[in-house]
Structure 1
Amino acid sequence: MTHPLLALWRYARRYRPRILLAALLTTLNKAADVAPELLIGVAVDVVVRGGDSFVSSLLGVESRYGQLVVVAAANALAWVVESVTDYGASLLWRGLAQSVEHDARLDTYRHVQGLEVSWFEDTSSGSVVSVLNDDVNQLERFLDVGASAILQVFWNIVLVGAVFAATSLQLTLLAFLPIPVIVLGSLAYQRRLEPYYARVRAAAGELAGTLTANLGGITTIKAFSSEEREAARVHAASEEYRLANRDAIRFSSAFVPLIRMAILVGFTATLLLGGKLVLDGDLEVGLYSVLVYMTQRLLWPLTELGATLDLYQRAMASTRRIFGLLAVEPAIRPGTRELAAPVRGELRMQGVRFGYGDGPDVLRGLDLHVPAGETHAVVGATGAGKSTLVRLLLRFHDVRAGTVSVDGQDVRSLTYGSLRGAVGYVAQDVFLFHGTVRDNVAYGRPDASDAEVRRAAELAEAAPFVEALPEGYGTVVGERGVKLSGGQRQRLSIARAVLRDPAVLVLDEATSAVDNETEAAIQRSLAHVGEGRTVLVIAHRLSTVRDADRIWVLEHGRVAESGTHDELVGAGGLYAALWRVQTGEAAHEGDTAGRPA
């Protein structure tokens, strides 16, 4: 598997020029940062040696004060360069962090949106949200601070090492002695920290999943007085996250004290050996002062390596999860063909076999034909496969065998935009977004005019209650439409589907959860919106489909019978039995049969 850092470098290809510029500014910043320590030694050299100083021999300035003015000017220039490059590097690194974070979140979200519905059925939405939010944020924190810190440590070692090497090979070896220990220790810590932070990211996903699920089901939690039980579940998930972080922190925190001990060795060696060389006349006082400062400059920044390493490991664990999600290949890919305009809306299923996952077939050789412009209904007992037909029509899943076609075109050959753009879908479980009534009705056609939105609401018999709302079409419906009743949400869903003016209108149990009055209103609206288009109604309540041109009765994934309402009732088969149950005739006959003559 590709290392996450290499994968990140490949992913950020478009930002490489900015990365290189930021790296250059960081390098100049570190060079300017080291310069004042050198100038301290030069100043000491001026005071001690006077006319024989380095400045005097280089520039020919005799006056000691004049030499100090030169040193002060050089020091001021170094500070200005350091400040300017620090500002520029900070802007670039932080801008890069924000840009890469934005791209990673958007690209990952777009990729996830392109995955098939069955993937979402098998994956916790909380874990996906954790990747899109928490993991992307971890990556941003590292790019904001960690990348620059690692580069600064590198150049610090190189530049300070060059000063030592030009002064005393013996002191260079002693001052640099702790660095291999620190570097090897860092590599060892990286390997040891990986599983800790993998556990942290996994625990974060579990916690996010629990919170997302609980907030989505808050009404059910309250209805069953399960607040304490759910709080205990959140406590358990949060405790696992806390413990995972505790173990990682405990291990990573031990890094800095070990580095301090290594620094102590190098600093003490420079202090003692360098001092002896000065006393023996083998080293200038100015250089000695420079080396003492430089030893601290060389080694002390390494104490921050622990924090940087912590950021790095968290970021790499998150990067693995991000690119792992990006690597998920869609099991279903769109076709390349478009439906010929105008779309007629003829639907056909031939020999369709389908089952979910590795489970048994739900549909078993099903044949069904809906001519363009007609209203057909599909009924049957729970589990007969009614809603599965809709999922196959919209190509949320692919058949195991057989074909599903629109206007004679296999849905597998069509682009998603062409197929789903021709279908207006009204689900049993209506999803409204947190926004206004208008936003939700116009969701499929954001460019629709206010008059078109009102007309769609009128056709769906939603206009009267919408206009009675405090802000009318500007009323905010709340998350998932919680401020509206079930019937009101359903009618807005119909209006949303109608506004697209689709060739095919599909209603999947659209009246199963509404009262009789709302059902009657929806039936009236369907009589209006169904004109001139194909309508496929999936229904449990037979009263809603008795006027359909044809009714298909499913049993165990097959068509048991089909015909008009009157034909099916007269045939005395499965539909007639269902009709008697729903109208109460079966119960009435049972009561009559049980009475004494």
Structure 2
Amino acid sequence: MATTNRPPGSRGRDAGTPRRPSAPQDPADVPVPSDTAAAPRGAARVSAADRSQLARHPVSVRRIAALFAPHRARIAVVVLLISASSVIGLAQPFLIRAIIDVALPRQDVALLAALAGGLVAVAAATALLGVVQTWMATAMGQRVMHALRTSLFTHLQRQSLGFFTRTRGGDVQSRLTHDISGMQSVVTTSATSVASNLTTAVATAAAMVALSPRLSLLSLAVIPPAVYLSRRVALLRRDITAARQGELAGLHSQVEEGLSVSGVRLAKTLGTAGRDADRFAESSERLIGLEMRSQLAGRWRMATMGIVFAAIPAVIYLAAGFPAASGGMTVGTLVAFTALQGTIFRPIMGLLNVGVQWVAAMALFSRIFEYLDLVPDVRPPVRPRAVDPARVRGEVRFEGVGFAYDGGEQVLRGVDLLVPAGSTTAVVGATGSGKSTLGSLVPRLHDATAGRVTIDGIDVRDFAPEDLARIVGVVSQESYLIHASLRENLRLAAPGADDARLWEALAAARIADLVAGLPAGLDTVVGARGHRFSGGEQQRLAIARTILRNPRVLVLDEATSALDNSTEAEVQAALDRLAAGRTTITIAHRLSTVGRADQIVVLDGGRVAERGTPAELADAGGAYARLARAAGLALPERFEGAGAA
């Protein structure tokens, strides 16, 4: 087929999602993973949200340890490398002392060269160990997170539509992406930093004591106020950062809502573009103040702490000048000790944050495990019935079917209905009568809470999900096309289908000519949610996709209710072609589309009020006749006469 002449319509454009800027952090700030994406924290209190999450869904350490059990050997090697790197790094001050106290005064060139080479060797060894340790820890963390991420995605796929109806899509995405990314930070950064900080702090303190016990006591007296000041600054910045991240989240939502295809269409049709721009500007203006406060927060405290740290070496040098304090300390020892004292603050700050890091990390695991522990409303059978979908006749039967959403009021009550193989049954009724719910039970989008639904005498709950998906096809009012090419969208139904088979399906759906006229043909990208095509075109593409699936049972859930009369006629013709020879259950909003059904079922309050052929129900003068008259549908003359009588 030709692939020229007609360009695709351009109905929308993808809205880019801006990346949130990260907060500049002071050296005193130690990031702590949290359940809030992209919200850095300094040394801080435990988040109330984290405590609430853990209280709602506790996490056992054993369960977390099980995730890392396959990597025990790698973990041991990483800890060993961290310890070795910390210990080797402490050799540097002692080498410097030897250079100052021995090599330089004696002018021993050979010793000086050896000691200088030792400094280089120590730096090279610690750098190499750091690279290897980072590589191993990252690889391990990525493997653990990969397993957790895929397990969560697979488990969420098993949830019923009810779960996604009552759960915000943003929350699902946040847990699947942001929370697991935060856990990655816990695994590869926080966990390794604990070992590194502990080893460094202990080894540094031991080395300081070995160099000068007296000066070590002096340093211990200075460290507490420095730690206190740092934590105060971090606490102050945490509150400001939380406010800033909240404002950024609101700004992000405005971008996502206002610059999506639907959002832009809504703004243009309602004339809200100016108001949206003003609201965005106000939010952006508030960010200026928050950014200023974030940058200036605690600066006077930081300045005070800077003076304290500048004074520490001065105090040490002063103390070293008094014989009672120095104990005959050499210049090299003094320089080495000062270097060690300057490095002990950071690991101590890291260790002080262990408790907060632990609770935050456990909260992240809790959020993930909370979803993993969800029991699906629609569970796959333990022992599915072995069937050949190609040999299924397609007889559908509802036996005493009842259904209620989340234990609420009954939507369906005692529905008994037979849909013979190869026949067409239309289900009609007022809004809220349970039509769509009844249709959703056949492909197991929901499970009946009473009674059962069978296909060829087999309960649909006994089919393997893959087999049931091949047996039952669904075309709904809202067709869904992914942001990919037409070819990729069609092959969702039949991954191995060649182009010839795709064109046959498009022809059967009466849309082959349109696709053939596009410059890129089957390679045309449909756009976000298929907005490059009209509603009727999207429906016919969805029908072509269902044709490729070739199901024996077809559920048409108000597939034409949102279309204009002309487009409805085109889509209805494609649906008639699709329904030929299949068992078809049509959920109808417009009675004009059900005139050729083999039987019509009228639902009223979740019960079957009437059933029969269109002519029989028209003659009966019951619920169907009242619906038809309300819709302005012409009825046979004999019924009109009977009604007049």
Find the partner of 2:595 among 546, 549, 552. Answer: 546
**How far did residue 166 of structure 1 move?**
2.6
Partner of 1:293: 339
- Structure 2: distance between partners of 1:253 and 1:310: 24
**How far did residue 221 of structure 1 move?**
3.6
Identical amino acids, percent of aligned pairs: 34
- Structure 2: distance between partners of 1:339 and 1:244: 62
The equivalences for 1:13-162 within 5 A come to 13-47=69-103, 50=106, 64-96=108-140, 98-100=142-144, 102-141=146-185, 143=187, 145-162=189-206
Q: 1:241 to 1:128 in 2, by over 3 A?
A: farther
**How far did residue 80 of structure 1 move?**
2.1
Length-normalised TM-score, structure 2 = 0.77
Length-normalised TM-score, structure 1 = 0.82
Partner of 1:53: none
**How far did residue 216 of structure 1 move?**
6.2
The equivalences for 1:565-584 within 5 A come to 565-584=614-633
Bigger mean CA offset, 182-191 vs 63-72: 182-191
Partner of 2:22: none
Partner of 1:384: 433
Q: Contact 1:263–1:300 at 8 Å: present in 2 too?
A: no
Deviations 1:559-593 (A, max 9, x none): 1111111222222222223334445548x99xx9x
Letter in 2 for 1:217: S
Residue 429, structure 1, aligned to residue 473, structure 2: no
Q: 1:573 to 1:116 in 2, by over 3 A?
A: same
Q: 1:190 to 1:318 in 2, by over 3 A?
A: farther
What SS does the aligned partner of 2:496 have? Answer: coil
Partner of 1:338: 385
Partner of 2:29: none
Q: Contact 1:130–1:204 at 8 Å: present in 2 too?
A: no
Q: Contact 1:126–1:212 at 8 Å: present in 2 too?
A: no
Q: When the two structures are aligned, how many residues end up with a matched partner?
A: 577
Letter in 1 for 2:197: V
- Structure 2: distance between partners of 1:306 and 1:230: 45
Bigger mean CA offset, 34-43 vs 255-264: 255-264
- Structure 2: distance between partners of 1:194 and 1:296: 26
Q: Contact 2:158–2:378 at 8 Å: present in 1 too?
A: no
**How far did residue 142 of structure 1 move?**
5.3
The equivalences for 1:344-423 within 5 A come to 344-423=393-472
- Structure 1: distance between partners of 2:359 and 2:324: 44
- Structure 2: distance between partners of 1:207 and 1:7: 37
Q: Contact 1:42–1:286 at 8 Å: present in 2 too?
A: yes
Return the structure number with greater relative CO, CA threshold 8 A, min gap 6: 2
What SS does the aligned partner of 1:121 have? Answer: helix
**How far did residue 439 of structure 1 move?**
1.5
Partner of 1:497: 546
Letter in 2 for 1:46: V
Q: Contact 2:59–2:365 at 8 Å: present in 1 too?
A: no
Q: 1:121 to 1:196 in 2, by over 3 A?
A: farther
Residue 519, structure 1, aligned to residue 568, structure 2: yes
Deviations 1:258-312 (A, max 9, x none): 8767757865664344443488653344323321221112235657889999988
- Structure 2: distance between partners of 1:546 and 1:39: 96
What SS does the aligned partner of 2:417 have? Answer: strand
The equivalences for 1:219-368 within 5 A come to 219-228=265-274, 267=313, 270-277=316-323, 282-299=328-345, 318-336=364-382, 337-338=384-385, 340-341=387-388, 342-368=391-417
Partner of 1:11: 67
Deviations 1:163-203 (A, max 9, x none): 12333433333333455677799999999999999998888
Letter in 1 for 2:406: G
Q: 1:151 to 1:350 in 2, by over 3 A?
A: same
What SS does the aligned partner of 1:348 have? Answer: strand
Q: Contact 2:233–2:302 at 8 Å: present in 1 too?
A: no
- Structure 2: distance between partners of 1:376 and 1:480: 30
Letter in 1 for 2:620: A
What SS does the aligned partner of 1:286 have? Answer: helix
**How far did residue 527 of structure 1 move?**
3.5
Q: 1:252 to 1:538 in 2, by over 3 A?
A: farther
- Structure 1: distance between partners of 2:269 and 2:439: 32
**Root mean square deviation, CA, Å:** 4.2
In structure 1, runs of 5+ residues without a counterpart are: 51-62, 593-597
In structure 2, runs of 5+ residues without a counterpart are: 1-53
Bigger mean CA offset, 526-535 vs 38-47: 526-535
- Structure 2: distance between partners of 1:491 and 1:106: 33
- Structure 1: distance between partners of 2:563 and 2:462: 37
Normalized per residue, the structure richer in helix is 1
Q: 1:493 to 1:280 in 2, by over 3 A?
A: closer
Q: 1:392 to 1:192 in 2, by over 3 A?
A: farther
**How far did residue 37 of structure 1 move?**
1.7
Partner of 1:164: 208
- Structure 1: distance between partners of 2:347 and 2:77: 23
